[in-house]
Structure 1
Amino acid sequence: MKDILLFVMAGCPHCRLALQLQDQLFADHPEWRDIPLKIVDETREPAFADQFDYYYVPTYYVDGQKVHEGHAERADVEKVFRLAAGEPVKS
């Protein structure tokens, strides 16, 4: 399993949607709850967030590689977790 790092911002509707989609995916794939996931609010940890190259939130990194930035649909979030779990990714 690879680590997931998620950058969000308080009050962001796209971030709220991504977190809701994660919860839905966890219900369908409970094993994904074991994937190490760090959620960083960029307004609370700006020095840490500034070390990463992204502009929009939510932004997902898997094992240090940016794999999604900006508004996310269910398929986008599922891809992140499949990559982290080492599972095949649907095109």
Structure 2
Amino acid sequence: MKNIKIFILHGCPYCHNAMKAWKELTAQEAYQGMTAEWIYEDEHPESAKGFDHYYCPSIFVDETKVYEAHPGDSYEVTAEKVREALNLAR
């Protein structure tokens, strides 16, 4: 399995959507046992060095950005991008 890193912020509604989607998707048989490194960027800003992004959540699979939230993204958009990351990481 490839490495998944997800940069999030405390209090971020889009990050909450990503966490909710992750929980729902990894409960499905196809994604059970998959893991990600969840990094609270407001606590560990140094961890984001080398990862090109502005908005959170931002999802990277083996150092390649597969999603960066944009203001107004719906839960469905975020969930689909989380699914895409899971599929790429398998």
Whether these two folds match at TM > 0.5 is yes
TM-score range, shorter chain: 0.7 to 0.9
Summarize deviations over 1:47-86 as a string: whole Å, max 9, x none: 121332100100000011011100443211111100001x
- Structure 1 gaps of 5+ residues are 86-91
Amino acid at match of 1:51: G
1:24 aligns to what?
24
Partner of 1:42: 41
For 1:3-60, what per-residue CA distance to the aligned partner results, in whole angstroms no more than 9, with x for missing partners? Answer: 100000000000001100111101113x534334101000110112133210010000
Q: What's the Cα RMSD here?
A: 1.5
Q: Percent same amino acid among aligned pairs?
A: 32
Give the Cα separation in 2 of the matches to 1:54 and 1:7: 9
TM-score, normalized by length of structure 2? Answer: 0.84
Question: How many residues of Structure 1 are paired with residues of Structure 2 in the alignment?
Answer: 84
TM-score by length of 1: 0.83
